[in-house]
Structure 1
Amino acid sequence: MVLWKAWRAADAPDLSGRVALVTGATSGIGLETATQLARGGARTLLGCRDLGRGQRAKERIVERCGAASVELVRVDLADLESVRDAAREIADRAGHLDLLVNNAGVMAPPPQLTDQGFELQLGTNHLGHFALTGRLLPLLLAADGARVITVSSIAHHLAGGAGLSEPTDFKTLPHGSRWLGYARSKLANLLFALELDRQVRDCTDAATGLRSIAVHPGVTRSELVARASIGQRPLIGRIAQLSTQVISQSTASGALPTLYAATRADAAGGEFFGPRLGVRGAPVRVRPSHVARDAVLADRLWQASAAATGVGYEELCKPRRAGVDR
């Protein structure tokens, strides 16, 4: 069932007075999300690795939205020092953060490592966002009913096979496959979003106003396929891009699950939103894979991520238990 018949980005509520940060905001779904948040009146921070691309994105948003409040924040999610510096800069510029959209990601690049030696996709898509969210947690808790929206993918379903459901090997690609590595990173995104919601609900202090919500955009005509390794091959890349054109939707449609989760009053913590038809369509509540709902695995990923990044989420004040009994 469609959550809200004919719901459009224009139906989102007024966001005046809200502060939002969108990572990967220079193109694709990130740019569309940031544009709509700025159009709604939010002070919108564009998290970008390349300030030149960020400036061009800012100009596009201002051109589309008029007197929008848009600012740039440099953050390279493949470098935990850059994440730390960005969080400090945001704290200096804003007293609170109402909305964090963990959107940035890389898809199936040639094998590479992050600055700290992690496999690039897991290091960027998951560990970078894990660290950024944790470092911004004081600002999120200072807001009234803040939301963390983490963008996963339908590809997370591919990470449930033998040897793929353990996402805590941060150094190597599963079976040497960059595509399975992408699926694993998207599973990690979803495990993180659901575990953050559990930790918030288990906490007894002011953190209970925070909502952690996961989304996926279906198949969207963005730059990810073109930039992925398969998109660089003359014949196969062209076939992949043409196939994407046939089954995919626009970035404006692909951003709708994110915008719905970010703005609708009935979007609750721990929910997962995606297109009605899986690859395209209006946003609906969707069911994560069985592996993504594994609380024991999510807890193990959380512990390993905290150790790898040095970010412990102490502000949540959640008592640690021997084993997971939730």
Structure 2
Amino acid sequence: MQSILQKTTGIGPTPVHPEDLRGRVAVVTGGAFGIGFEISRSLASAGCRVIMVNRKEEQGDEAQQTIRAETPEANVEWVHCDLGNLSEVRSVFTGLRERLDRLDFLVLSAGINTNQYGVDADGIDRHFGVNYLGQYYVCNQLWPLLRKTPGLGDGKPPAPRVVFLASEMHRAAPSNVRFEGLDEINNPNLGPTELYGRTKLAMILLAKYGLADKVIKTNSDRVYAVSVHPGAVNTAMQQQWKDAYPGITGKMLTWAMLAFGRDPEQGSYSALWALTSPKIEDENLNGYYFSDPDTPGKETAQASDPALGDALWKLSERLVKDKLGEDALLDWNAAA
């Protein structure tokens, strides 16, 4: 519906179509499907080298074929990774870190939509594991490459960007969230919307109080981390409402999202703007949350709580080390 309105009336998010990104490199989790695919497609069409990371091989094959059919010279590839498996995340992204010379754009778009409670390969709530913790670990494994990139080449190239696909659904996070331990995270009594909303809250907190405050500011890294709301987008993920709320409620929610949501291309505009707008660096908008291109979002009190951000950071470190060992995390100040 919103895509039709935009075409006929101009109402909708401001379109963003990058033009010249030759020589730049992007890694996009969830990059072969939905909003992530549209981000990959747009970056590749502008000459950026794009590595798409997904769990399903058929999505990767189709995404590459589609992009190359539209842009025959596109430099795109697909890599398999289940972000709900921390050991696999370490293996895959260590490999990327070691074979890439630079990284200009890191887009954290992978995830599962609102759905019933379950656990991932590490025994962690699958919403939290896939949508948040796996992507926190991706950032850690690729950080040396991000902080190295600004020193490459002549002059002062644009600073690398890390963009999280968060959501206004962060407002649905449980009111009593504390990020104190795994027992709190693995709570089967939380509803599907609360489970999903908590992960989007975590993304906003990670960009703002984790990467921007604890890493970038501390290390004086020339890297920008922001989170964005893509809008309610009518991708196939909306079918998960039927699983989250069996019966007529789930069917009605799916219908509403598909009928009135944005199309995936519109859903990509916020992230593409955050990746490429000079305003991010010119105005030092590190850690910001945007609800549309060039539109600052209004976070909840939880998303503006530095103590909650600190608790999330400590829990993230603890969970990764508990699952993979004390040496699992790279030093955030390490050089590539």
Pair in the same fold by TM > 0.5: yes
Residue 238 of structure 1: how far off its partner (Å): 3.0
Residue 217 of structure 1: how far off its partner (Å): 0.8
Aligned to 1:296: 307
Question: Structure 2: how far apart are the matches of 1:295 and 1:223?
Answer: 35
For each residue in 1:77-116, what CA deviation from the matched residue of structure 2 results, as whole angstroms up to 9, or x when unmatched?
A: 0000110111122123312211100011112333221111
Aligned to 1:82: 88
Q: Is the 8 A contact 1:174 1:180 kept in 2?
A: no
Question: Structure 1: how far apart are the matches of 2:72 and 2:179?
Answer: 43
Aligned to 1:274: 291
Residue 180 of structure 1: how far off its partner (Å): 0.7
Q: Is the 8 A contact 2:146 2:160 kept in 1?
A: yes
Aligned to 1:203: 218
Aligned to 1:224: 237
Aligned to 2:198: 184
Equivalent residue pairs, number: 302
Question: Structure 2: how far apart are the matches of 1:26 and 1:202?
Answer: 32
Aligned to 1:152: 166
- Aligned Cα RMSD in Å? 2.1
Aligned to 1:279: none
**What is the TM-score normalised by the length of structure 1?**
0.86
Question: Structure 1: how far apart are the matches of 2:315 and 2:145?
Answer: 24
Q: Is the 8 A contact 1:217 1:254 kept in 2?
A: yes
Question: Structure 1: how far apart are the matches of 2:90 and 2:244?
Answer: 32
Question: Structure 2: how far apart are the matches of 1:109 and 1:231?
Answer: 4
Aligned pairs for 1:112-191 within 5 A: 112-144=118-150, 145-159=159-173, 161=175, 163=176, 165-170=177-182, 171-173=185-187, 175-191=189-205
Distance 1:13 1:273, change over 3 A: farther
Residue 25 of structure 1: how far off its partner (Å): 1.5
Distance 1:150 1:242, change over 3 A: same
Aligned to 2:250: 237
| 5+ long unaligned stretches in structure 1 | 276-281, 318-326
Q: Is the 8 A contact 2:23 2:47 kept in 1?
A: yes
Q: Which amino acid aligns with 1:181?
A: L
Residue 256 of structure 1: how far off its partner (Å): 0.5
Aligned to 2:73: 67
| 5+ long unaligned stretches in structure 2 | 1-11, 151-158, 322-327
User: Helix, strand or coil: the match of 2:117?
Assistant: coil
Aligned to 2:275: 262
